[in-house]
Structures are given as structure tokens and as C-alpha cells.
Amino acid sequence: MQNYLELLNPAQREAVISTEGPSLVIAGAGSGKTRVLTYRIAHLLKNGVPPWNILALTFTNKAAREMKERIATVVGSKVAAHLWMGTFHSIFARILRIEAQHINFPKNFTIYDTADSKSLIKSILKEMKLAEKEYKPGDVLSRISSAKNDLVLPHTYARDQHRIMADKAARKPLIHDIYNRYMRACMKSGAMDFDDLLLNTNLLFRDHPEVLANYQEQFRYILVDEYQDTNVSQYLIIRKLADKYKNVCVVGDDAQSIYSFRGAKIENILNFRNDYPGYQLFKLEQNYRSTQTIVNAANSLIAKNKGQIPKKVFSNKSEGNPIKIMQAFSDVEEGFLVVNDLKNKLLEFSCQYEDFAILYRTNAQSRIFEDVLRKNNIPYKIYGGLSFYQRKEIKDLLAYFRMIINSNDSEALKRIINFPARGIGKTTLEKLEATAAHNGVSIWEVLVHPELSKLGFNAGTLKKLGGFVALIREFQAKSFNLDAFQLASEVVSQSGILKELHQDNTPESQSRIENIDELLNAIKDFSDSRKESGQENSITLFLEEVSLLTDQDNDKAEDKNKVTLMTIHSAKGLEFRNVYIVGMEEDLFPSGRVSESESGLEEERRLFYVAITRAEEHAVLSFAKRRFKYGDMTYVRASRFLGELDPSYIEMTGDTIQQNQATDNFGSANQRFGKSFEKQPAFTPKKFNFSESINKNPEKKPLFSENAFTNAFDIKIGMSVQHERFGIGEVTSLEGTGSNVKATVLFSNAGEKQLLLKFAKLKILN
DNA sequence: CGGACGATCCTTTTT
DNA sequence: GGATCGTCCG
């Protein structure tokens, strides 16, 4: 790997070797951005810059990990290990722990996730006697988050006419008050939410110039990936840190800015020239990923946006196949069309499962594709939704660890004070919470206060509370002698969690036990690898790692060679030979919430651009005519974005059931498609078309057959059926009529279950 | 106090 | 279609 410079094109090479002074790298989709970042860092190291003088900030942990591995192949893993490389959140959490004493936080502060934050907001609403209907915790949190990302503290918020007016207009005039209480409560709990990690870093640097000076000196070279998605808070951290040496290299693509909803400012990249005069500009315009058709189609789309950094992304690869658009009558049929097309490509182009991705705008769309893939025995992995670390039993166990490390963490306490059930109910907890809020202390401090007995609890309750305190203290005492894994095992057995789960012997509790085992294994792996590398191995470090994980970071070995299902947002940075972009409908993509504003629409368009440019060989777009929304079947229109792609790159596949209806299907969107689009035959006689492929595979089930789905009416007494969770069983009785038929099934492993056929996805065996 | 069972709201996107 | 929340009853 010594000649890494030879692996680069001229533009990439310039970006790698121009290490001094500010640099802006505009990297078109698929243009080798990661390669440039990787080799730039390797180049610095090769030229004698110590790794601890380099700060590299990425968007996901996974990106950081992969880049570190690639750098290690050039300079060795010992050197690479000393790089400061990670997400903004993980790097600055680490720094905040080191500098905690300066900002009035304990070193062992907890990191609240969104669920913790919402739960805290609910408590505050209760205390303020505000209705949750008026002040939805999620909405309140996003207002607070947006303020924090703009570095607006509560007292400034209260005087910020803009925000106050907006809140009044939204009939939530008291947000500033909630925000204030929220901040105080976090402080009492010794907790920071995600935004606080960045906000407090800013406050640390603002109020402690000597601390800032140290880090400026340390981080002589700063690299930032996905710069177009940084928010004000992140932007200012970079500016401060880079202020001394100005060796800052930011990489990004304004055309791929898709996170404004969480405070990202595309202006950060657009204004780089003003912030760092004398900067060098590098443009990476050759796309190595996709066919010319895909690149050109994507260009034709993004050209509809205004105010971009001029660039001309091109591909030297083959022309490739046209982008296919498929229309379906319903969301379910869309699932079949996509999976059928996938199966054809699998054979036609000798693809692996891992060569496919199904991308959607919202997580809720995944279910239908999961069903169809499962029925076709196609392995898939799904990102998003409930991740492992958000499952109840996992969060409960982690809450014990949090209490051990930081007993002032009131959200953790609320989770476990009565889990497993120890007779401390809602009333008791409410009283404790109110007392804590009234006295400005954490719940734990109330519990351990000598005058607890004067609060009017009865003797039984007092005893139970005392038992809980003793339990936590016992764990704390043990935590000094045990490693992370030993302590975790101790908690699982001594807290009564395991006993409780073993007692109610249901399939659910069984799967919970399995999850807990999995967590213990993860902790063991963590402990062992830490021990091997001679590093500290405390539960604190494990928690730190876990609380900043995303489900993208949980790549497992068994997840190799599977079809990928994810939102377009999480697909950023990835690539696949074949990409399906599904649900191309108005009010879904573009989302109805934003398509009224021009800037919102432009962001949706960038999102579509990101989606298309994930594809190396084939991009397939699909939409349905009818779709279930909120449990109702609704009629929907094709997305306006379909008409914005240059029609010369598109192939339509028609409506295979009733061709004469195909044209109506576009509704108003049809007018936007323009003449050339309309002229396309509704049913292109090409080789991947749909009806032919059915004929080609006569052994396969016809796509539109009712039989493809288990029909509730088909299930009869005595049948042998399979359930996703409960396994195989026999139907012993049926009751009810119509869609409400309830079956009693005797499962060989799970015992007898009553199942509503419309919900339980029973597969008929034999 | 805790579990079971309806009503209700919902849907962007995520560190 | 489903998650969460509130209410009711044991």
C-alpha cells in the first residue's frame, strides 16, 4: 500500500496532499470521498504527524470504524488506534468527561436518549399541570433540540421574539419554561441529551479559553466528513478548534444535504469560502459507482434545485440500463412487483442477496416488503425501527448499570424502581418525584435522605424503598471489584429480572431472556477485547459506547448476504448494485409535511438524489395507486419527482392487470410527466417485464394470486400452521366471523394460543 | 397495586 | 395496523 497516491485521480490526489490550510472538498456522489479522507489522514501520518494531533469527525460510528481500518492497512493499527476519530457525539462526549469539572457535571454523567428525554418532558408537563395533548413531548423536545443546536439557552429563548412568537402561534407559549426546567432536571440527574453533548462542548470552549487552547494545540489537523449536514453547534465547535492552525479539511456534497430537520445547515458548506478565506477548493466530479444513465438521471433531477455549488458529476462507466418505473395497484402489490423483479435480477445478473437494497421514505413502509420477502424465503436485514438497545428488557437492564454509575439518573431510576415488580407503585413514585422536584434534588437523593420517613409513606412502602436503595448500593460496592461482565451477570441474577422472566413462561419472556443473554454476550466481548488490549474495562465505558450506537453500528456476521431494507436517510454513504426506491407517491415522497415550502421540497429532492445515486447498475422506482394509511385504504397519486427525471433515462413498465387503467393511475402527476413520458408505451416489451417473467418461471406462484398470502378463510380446524414466533402448531378451534375469526392453536413449543387471524400471520403447512 | 382491555393518536427522516 | 395511554376491575 505504499503507493497509495497512485490509486487516486488527479483531483483526489491534490485533495490528499494539500494538507496545510483550510480545504473544501466538494465530493459528488460516488466520487471517492471516503478514499480521499482515508488517504489524506494516512498521508499526514506518513509525513510524521502524530495520530493524536489529528481529529476526524464522521457522521456514524460505522464510517469511523471503517475508515480507521483502512488507515490501519497503510500505517499499521498501532498508529491508527491513536487517532481521534469518531462521530461528533462520541468524540465530544469523551472530551466532556475529561473536562467535566469545568462545566458542573459529574465525570460519570449519563447520556439520555430520545426516550429518556421524552419521559423527562412528560414528568415536567405533569409538574406544570400541562396537558400532554397540547404539549406533545416529541414536539416539545424538537423545539428544545432546535434551540440547543442554535446555542440558544433557556434565558435567551425566553427573550427570543422569533421563538416565542412561533410557540405562541403553535399554542405552546410555555415551551421556554419547560426548556428551562428540562435543563435543570438534566443537571440534577447528571445527564446530557444528544444535543447537550455539542452544546456543552461549546459552553466549555466559550467559558474556558485555556481548555480550548489545549485542544486547539492538540488538534492541529481537523477533518470533517458530511460537512453539509453539520448544525450550528457542530459548525462552531469546528471553527473554534481550527482557529489557531486552520488546517481544517471539510468534505461534503451540498446536493446530499438531507438533515435540516434536525438542525443541519446547508449554509455551513455554502459559506465555507467566507469563513476560511484563502481556502483551497477541490471538486471530485467523476462518479466511479454508477452507470452513466443513473448519474445523468440524477443530475437531471437535482438541476431543479436552486443555489448549488456548481459541479458536473459524470461517469465513465457503461451507459447501463434505463431507470425502471413500476406502478402497482396497491401497496401490497408493490411489494410483489419489487420482490419479483428482485428475483429476476438475482438470476439474470447473477447477483447475491446483498447486492439489493429496498429504500423507503418512512420506516412504516418496511412491513409489506418484509412479509413478501419472508414468504419468498429471501433473507433480508432491516435497519431502523426498534433497535436492539431500545428494547424494553435491554433498556431496563442498562438502567441498572446507569443507576450503579450515576444514581442521580432519575430516568433510569423511574424505569427500575419497580422492575421487577417490588410493590412500589405509581402513587409512591409520583410522591417521590414531586418531592424531588420541589426540593430541587434527584429522586435518589430523596430516597437516601434521613427524613424520608417523614413524607408519610406507610411502613411497608418505606421498607420496600429501603430494599431498593440497599440493592443498588450493594451493586455499587461490587462494581469496584468486578469487571463489566461479572457485574452485569450479578445484576441480572440478583435484581430478580431473570427470575421474573422465567416465571411467566411465555414466548415473549423467552425472547426477552434471549435478548438479555445477547446483551451479556456483548458485554463479555467488550470486556474481553478491552482486557486483551490492556485497556480499562468498566461498565461505564460499555454504557458510553452503547448509548451512542445506532442500529447501523450493529453489523452482525450472520447479516452477510441479505437484502437490505432501510430508509433513504440511513442509506446515505452506502452503495448497492440494485436499488429499489419504493413509495414514489405524493404526500409520502415528497412528504406531505414539507412539500409546501420550497426549501422543504428541495430537501426532499436531494433525498431522492441520494436514493438514486446509491445504485451502481439498476435503479428501480415504484409507486402504488392505493395504500393503507392509518388503517384505511387511501388513493394516492404518483410522486411529482417521477416527472422531474429526464424521460430519456426512464423505462416504464405497465399495468399488468388492466392496461387501460394505467394512464389514469398517474392522476395529476401524469401531466407533469410531459409528452415524452406519456408517449412511452405503458407496457414495454423488454426482457425484464413482468408478465414474461411469470411465464419464464412457471413453477413459481403467480404474482397476483390470492394464494400468495395466507387467507384467513382458508384456515380450518385440524390444520397444521406455522407462526413467526410460536413455531408450529395445530388449529384446535375457530370462533367468530368475517375478519374477526379467532383461532385456538396448540403449538408444540409455545403451548395453546388464541390468535386473531387477521393479525397473526399464520402460514399453512402441508 | 397490577394486569387486561379498549380508545386514541398516529407517521417523516436520526445522532 | 399498531403503539401507547387511560380506565376498569380483581
DSSP-derived secondary structure for A71-106: HHHHH-HHHHTTSEEEEHHHHHHHHHHHTGGGGT--
Catalytic pick among A14, A19, A34, A126: A34
Alpha-carbon distance A451 to A598, whole Å?
60
pLDDT number for residue A267 = 92
Cross-strand bridge partners of residue A282: A25
Alpha-carbon distance A128 to A493, whole Å?
39
DSSP SS3 for A710: coil
The 10 Å Cβ neighbour count of residue A480 is: 8
Any catalytic annotation for residue A34? Answer: yes
| Strand C CB shell (< 7 Å) | A 122, 132, 367, 628, 630-632, 758-759
Scanning every strand, the nucleotide with its C1' closest to A426's CA turns out to be: B1
Across A686-750, where does the E strand assignment appear?
720-723, 727-735, 742-747
Catalytic pick among A256, A286, A428, A613: A256
| Strand B CB shell (< 7 Å) | A 59-60, 87-89, 114, 133, 136, 138, 194-195, 258, 261-262, 361-364, 384, 418, 421-428, 461, 548, 550-552, 566-567, 569-570, 591, 593-594, 600, 629-631
Scanning every strand, the nucleotide with its C1' closest to A258's CA turns out to be: B13
Nearest CA among A51, A359, A411, A55 for reference residue A219: A55
Could you say which residues of chain A have pLDDT below 50?
1, 655-713, 737-740, 758-759
The 10 Å Cβ neighbour count of residue A409 is: 28
Scanning every strand, the nucleotide with its C1' closest to A551's CA turns out to be: B14
Strand-pair category, A742-747 with A727-735: antiparallel
The 10 Å Cβ neighbour count of residue A400 is: 25
For residues A611 and A581, the answer to whether their CB atoms sit within 8 Å is yes
Scanning every strand, the nucleotide with its C1' closest to A131's CA turns out to be: C5
Scanning every strand, the nucleotide with its C1' closest to A371's CA turns out to be: C1
Scanning every strand, the nucleotide with its C1' closest to A631's CA turns out to be: C1
Cβ neighbours of residue A340 closer than 8 Å, sequence gap 6 or more: A690, A693, A694, A703
Nucleotides of C under 7 A from a protein CB: 1-2, 5-6
Task: Name the closest residue (CA) to the C1' of nucleotide B14.
Answer: A262
**How many Å apart are A388 CA and C7 C1'?**
31
Catalytic pick among A12, A13, A33, A409: A33
Alpha-carbon distance A611 to A185, whole Å?
40
Report, in angstroms and rounded to the nearest whole number, the Rg of chain A calculated over CA atoms.
28
- Residue whose C-alpha cell is 435491554: A394
Any catalytic annotation for residue A226? Answer: yes
pLDDT number for residue A85 = 95
Q: What is the pTM of this model?
A: 0.83
Any catalytic annotation for residue A614? Answer: yes
Strand-pair category, A720-723 with A763-764: antiparallel
Instruction: Give the torsion through C-alpha atoms of A490, A491, A493, A495, to 10 deg.
Output: 140
For chain A, count helices (H), then strands (E). Answer: 32, 23
Strand-pair category, A84-87 with A54-58: parallel
| Grid coordinates given for A613 | 445515486
Nearest CA among A415, A735, A342 for reference residue A576: A342
Q: At CA A191, angle to CA A200 and CA A481, rounded to 5?
A: 120
Any catalytic annotation for residue A253? Answer: no
Any catalytic annotation for residue A256? Answer: yes
The 10 Å Cβ neighbour count of residue A122 is: 14
For residues A52 and A84, the answer to whether their CB atoms sit within 8 Å is yes
Nucleotides of B under 7 A from a protein CB: 1-3, 9-15
Any catalytic annotation for residue A586? Answer: no
Nearest CA among A511, A428, A465, A550 for reference residue A59: A550
Strand-pair category, A632-635 with A615-629: antiparallel
Burial of A121 (0-12, 13-18, 19+ CB in 10 A): buried
The size of chain A, in residues, is 766
**How many angstroms separate the Cα of A585 from the Cα of each of A326, A492, A590, A627, A670?**
12, 48, 7, 10, 12
Instruction: Give the torsion through C-alpha atoms of A4, A7, A10, A15, to 10 deg.
Output: -50
Alpha-carbon distance A623 to A335, whole Å?
10
Scanning every strand, the nucleotide with its C1' closest to A761's CA turns out to be: C1
**How many Å apart are A616 CA and B11 C1'?**
30
Alpha-carbon distance A710 to A764, whole Å?
7
Alpha-carbon distance A434 to A742, whole Å?
45
**How many Å apart are A287 CA and B6 C1'?**
55
For residues A51 and A307, the answer to whether their CB atoms sit within 8 Å is no
Q: Examine residue A420 and say whether the peptide bond preceding it is cis (omega within 30 degrees of 0).
A: yes
For residues A261 and A237, the answer to whether their CB atoms sit within 8 Å is no
Task: Name the closest residue (CA) to the C1' of nucleotide C5.
Answer: A132
Alpha-carbon distance A324 to A615, whole Å?
12
Cβ neighbours of residue A96 closer than 8 Å, sequence gap 6 or more: A103, A105, A109, A192, A197, A200, A201, A204
Task: Name the closest residue (CA) to the C1' of nucleotide B13.
Answer: A569
The 10 Å Cβ neighbour count of residue A246 is: 14
Q: A75-103 burial string, b = 16+ CB within 10 Å, else e?
A: beeebbeebbbbbbbbbbbebbeebbeeb
Task: Name the closest residue (CA) to the C1' of nucleotide C3.
Answer: A386
Task: Name the closest residue (CA) to the C1' of nucleotide B10.
Answer: A630
Alpha-carbon distance A551 to A536, whole Å?
25
Catalytic pick among A167, A225, A616, A646: A225
Alpha-carbon distance A616 to A317, whole Å?
10
**How many angstroms separate the Cα of A102 from the Cα of each of A106, A108, A202, A211, A214?**
10, 14, 12, 9, 14
Nearest CA among A571, A33, A89, A62 for reference residue A253: A33
**How many Å apart are A665 CA and B7 C1'?**
36
Scanning every strand, the nucleotide with its C1' closest to A384's CA turns out to be: B14
**How many Å apart are A361 CA and C2 C1'?**
19
Task: Name the closest residue (CA) to the C1' of nucleotide C1.
Answer: A631
Catalytic pick among A99, A167, A193, A226: A226
Scanning every strand, the nucleotide with its C1' closest to A118's CA turns out to be: C4
**How many Å apart are A61 CA and B14 C1'?**
13
Note the maximum CA span of chain A. Answer: 83
pLDDT number for residue A761 = 53
Task: Name the closest residue (CA) to the C1' of nucleotide B8.
Answer: A133
**How many Å apart are A513 CA and B2 C1'?**
22
**How many Å apart are A141 CA and B7 C1'?**
26
Alpha-carbon distance A650 to A321, whole Å?
9
Scanning every strand, the nucleotide with its C1' closest to A141's CA turns out to be: B14
Residue type, A489: S
**How many Å apart are A709 CA and B15 C1'?**
39
**How many Å apart are A182 CA and B2 C1'?**
30
Would you give the DSSP letter of residue A585?
B
Catalytic pick among A317, A614, A627, A640: A614
**How many Å apart are A564 CA and C1 C1'?**
23
**How many Å apart are A629 CA and B10 C1'?**
10
